[in-house]
Amino acid sequence: MADGLRPACPDLREAGDGIAGTRRLEELCLNSSAPPGQLLYDGWLLRFSPGKAKRPRSINAVYPSTIALAEKIAHCERVYAERELPAIYRISEHTDPPALDALLDSQGYGRFGTTQVRFASIELAAAEGPGVFDPRPEEWFDMVGELRGSPVAHRSAHLARLTALPLAKRFVAIQEAGVTLATGFATLEDGYAGLFDVMTREGARRRGYARAVVAALLRWAWDQGARHAYLQVEEDNEPAILLYERFGFRPVYRYWYRAKAGDAP
């Protein structure tokens, strides 16, 4: 596997030879971030969300190509330029063909945002914790946008994308005196829970708020019948990685992005 990572959980290997299991995990990750607007082009999934998140506005090479790579890259640049969006590629061990990464590098697409996909068996005892607030989706998106400092347009795109997902979801937050301290949400598909947007207000970190959010989401997932969970965390986010490891999340594979100079978020 890429970068020396191996499936950390036997459940992934039960799907086949390990690669098959991680491919299913990649499908879950793509499904949970699907924007309302996307196109398939010769095996590449082109996504056009205008929000801040990179996954729902990236190019993902998921199936073998029949068109020359240079021609496909030029086509994607035109398609994204027409929509006034940068062409951002998401690359992982599942990228087909593997040579795409080196070709993009040679054409000036710099690498950034290396992210670990982590997987865990849900341990209910480890998910004990205080209750959290269940805001309405519209309220929750404003909370996340405020923590991120996102403009209203990006918040609206985030809301449209997540509310359109055909998956069970739960949005949670922690507030004190009307101030949002932490947020998170989870999706559920095929018995797997995905955890996203676990954020803590700057100045309120290291007080257990993120742990309470993760625990609440895992309890909800367990109650919905899920026994496994996954998440994505940027590789240089050491505090978050330490938190997730306490819940048993172990790295399975990495992905990263490539974009032209000036186009990286």
Estimate to the nearest angstrom the gap between the alpha carbon of 119 and the chain centroid: 13
**Is the domain of 129 the same as that of 104?**
no
Q: Could you check whether the bond before residue 137 is cis, i.e. omega within 30 degrees of 0?
A: no
- Nearest-angstrom CA–CA distance, 45 and 95: 11
The answer to whether residue 7 sits within a structural domain is: no
Is 80 exceeded by the pLDDT of residue 214? yes
Single-letter amino acid, residue 61: A
CATH of the domain at 159: 3.40.630.30
In the sheet with 179-189, reading across from the earlier edge strand, the strands are 38-41, 44-47, 59-61, 89-92, 250-260, 109-121, 228-234, 192-200, 179-189, 168-176
Looking at the predicted structure, is the pLDDT value of residue 105 above 60?
yes
Residue 139 lies in a domain: yes
Is residue 58 domain-shared with residue 95, that is, in the same domain?
A: yes
Can you tell me the mean pLDDT for 242-251? 96
Residue 45 lies in a domain: yes
Whether 102 and 145 map to the same domain: the answer is: no
| Averaged pLDDT for residues 235-263 | 95
Beta partners for residue 183, in sequence order: 173, 199
Residue 232 structure tokens: 């994505």
Half-sphere exposure (Cβ direction) of 10: Cα atoms closer than 13 Å: 0
Same domain, 26 and 96: yes
CA distance to 31, 105, 131, per residue, from 98 (Å): 22, 12, 45
Beta bridge pairs of residue 116: 233, 254
Shared domain for 212 and 134, answered yes or no, is yes
Confidence of residue 12 (pLDDT cuts 50, 70, 90): low
Based on the fold, state whether residues 153 and 79 are members of the same structural domain: no
HEC per residue, 1-45? CHHHCCCCCHHHHCCCCCHHHHHHHHHHHHHHCCCCCEEEECCEE
Using the predicted structure, report yes or no on whether residue 196 has a pLDDT greater than 60: yes
Q: Average pLDDT of 172-185?
A: 94
Collapsing DSSP to helix, strand or coil, 261 comes out as coil
Q: Is residue 151 part of a domain?
A: yes
* CA–CA gap between residue 74 and residue 70 (Å, rounded): 6
Residues 173 and 208 reside in one and the same domain: yes
Position 263 in a domain: no
Based on the fold, state whether residues 55 and 102 are members of the same structural domain. yes
Same domain, 34 and 107: yes
198: containing domain? 123-226
pLDDT, one tens digit per residue, over 62-100 is 989 999 999 999 999 999 999 999 999 999 988 989 999
The whole-number average pLDDT for the span 111-115 is: 96
CA 96 centroid distance within chain: 20
Tally of domains in the chain = 2
- Domain presence at residue 107: yes
Compute the average pLDDT of residues 38-43: 95
Please check whether residues 154 and 110 belong to one and the same domain: no
Q: Which of 67, 89, 114 is the last residue of a domain?
A: 114
Q: What is the 3-state secondary structure (H, E, C) of 223-247?
A: HCCCCEEEEEEECCCHHHHHHHHHC
Q: Is residue 242 part of a domain?
A: no
Tell me: do 89 and 155 sit in the same domain: no
**Is the predicted pLDDT of residue 259 greater than 70, yes or no?**
yes
Same domain, 56 and 142: no
- Whether 82 is covered by a domain: the verdict is yes
98 or 163: which carries more pLDDT confidence? 98
- Res. 2: pLDDT tops 70: no
pLDDT of residue 20: 55
